[in-house]
Structure 1
């Protein structure tokens, strides 16, 4: 089943009196439970595509349909609501809040998503997710006491704690060594399959492609192969 549809998406940036078209009419459909890897050379437009689709930048033209709703027609408040409640994000760096413990990071995400869950359900979900990423024993730890791989595990837990339907991963293993990269991508894949997330992942690491269901290649602002 289709989760997200991108139709003739254009993104143009202004540089003084000049305009540079970064995305040149992208068409792409993402299916529920599918992991799509987005690759391409630096400057090909892959990170721009991810941030526009995720509602972090406005498109210039085109449509983005998510769960039968047109994101490109939403006002900023509506778009923030979708990002907070239906999207999950994993970036190159974990971006954890330094003064919050591991379990508090997840509590903050649940508050942001405005989940109407009981205290008991919240506690059970936090324990379940932290156990899934093998970080329950670190629930009271602060980010400064975690390794890079452990921080990314917490970032994944935070991305899925509110049960989003769509995950965006922008170079999620780029800051890790090869061993930790494999651990993190295997974890991301297993959890996304178990919970039926649709995943759009930007990566430059070809070793990550075998964990995707589909690879989309971008070149000069267009999809050259899908």
Structure 2
């Protein structure tokens, strides 16, 4: 069963009198419990597609179908609510709040998502990502791999339906990258998330259920 559909997505940027079409009628569906890896050269449009799918950027044309609604037509206030409650986000940089401990990052996410701040849930997630011993630590004392694992825990603590991951291993060495990808694979299966992964690292594609290649604003089939 498919959870999330992108239909005929187009995106045009204007620079003065010049228009550049970055996305050219993209169609893509995401399925629960699967990682869909989106690959392509720099400038192919993959990160733009991810940010549009996640509601972080408006589309010029097309439909974003999620649970029977076209998110392209949803007002910003309701879209923020969908993002907070139904989506999870992981980026190349962990974007952890510097003045919050690891466990406080998770409690904050639960509050943003409008869910109870369950200590048992936080304890369980931290155990899964191997950070039980670092729950009271601040980001400045974490290694790069620990920061990304904390970011993953924060992104899934509210059990999102869709997870968006944009180059989550780009700043890590190969060993830490494999650890992070194994964790993403495990959490995707366990929580039944539909995960969209943007990556240029071919070594990470073995963790994906599907690999989709973009070129010049289009998906190649």
- What is the TM-score of this pair, normalised by structure 2? 0.99
Q: What is the Cα deviation at residue 30 of structure 1?
A: 1.1
Q: What is the Cα deviation at residue 112 of structure 1?
A: 0.7
Q: Paired residue for 1:6? A: 6
* 1:62 matched to 2:62: yes
- In 1, Cα distance between the equivalents of 2:162 and 2:219? 21
165-174 or 63-72, which deviates more: 63-72
- In 1, Cα distance between the equivalents of 2:4 and 2:57? 17
Q: Paired residue for 2:160? A: 164
Q: Paired residue for 2:31? A: 31
Pairwise CA RMSD? 0.7
Q: What is the Cα deviation at residue 154 of structure 1?
A: 0.3
Q: Helix, strand or coil for the counterpart of 2:3?
A: strand
Q: How far does the alpha carbon of each residue in 1:84-141 deviate from its partner, in whole angstroms, 9 at most, with x for none?
A: 00000010010100000000000110111111x2x5xx10100000000010110000
- In 1, Cα distance between the equivalents of 2:192 and 2:211? 18
- In 1, Cα distance between the equivalents of 2:111 and 2:49? 28
Q: Paired residue for 1:80? A: 80
Q: Helix, strand or coil for the counterpart of 1:72?
A: helix
Q: Paired residue for 2:139? A: 143
Q: Paired residue for 2:186? A: 190
- In 1, Cα distance between the equivalents of 2:179 and 2:34? 19
- In 1, Cα distance between the equivalents of 2:131 and 2:12? 42
Q: Helix, strand or coil for the counterpart of 1:187?
A: helix
Q: 2:219 aligns with which of 208, 216, 223?
A: 223
- In 1, Cα distance between the equivalents of 2:159 and 2:152? 12
Q: Paired residue for 1:204? A: 200
- In 1, Cα distance between the equivalents of 2:188 and 2:38? 17
Q: Which runs of 5+ in 2 are unaligned?
A: none
Q: Which runs of 5+ in 1 are unaligned?
A: none
Q: Paired residue for 2:121? A: 125
Q: Helix, strand or coil for the counterpart of 2:168?
A: coil
Q: What is the Cα deviation at residue 31 of structure 1?
A: 1.2
Q: Helix, strand or coil for the counterpart of 1:191?
A: helix
Q: What is the Cα deviation at residue 39 of structure 1?
A: 0.2
Q: Paired residue for 1:52? A: 52
Q: Helix, strand or coil for the counterpart of 1:137?
A: helix
Segments ≥4 residues shifted beyond 6 Å: none
- In 2, Cα distance between the equivalents of 1:36 and 1:137? 32
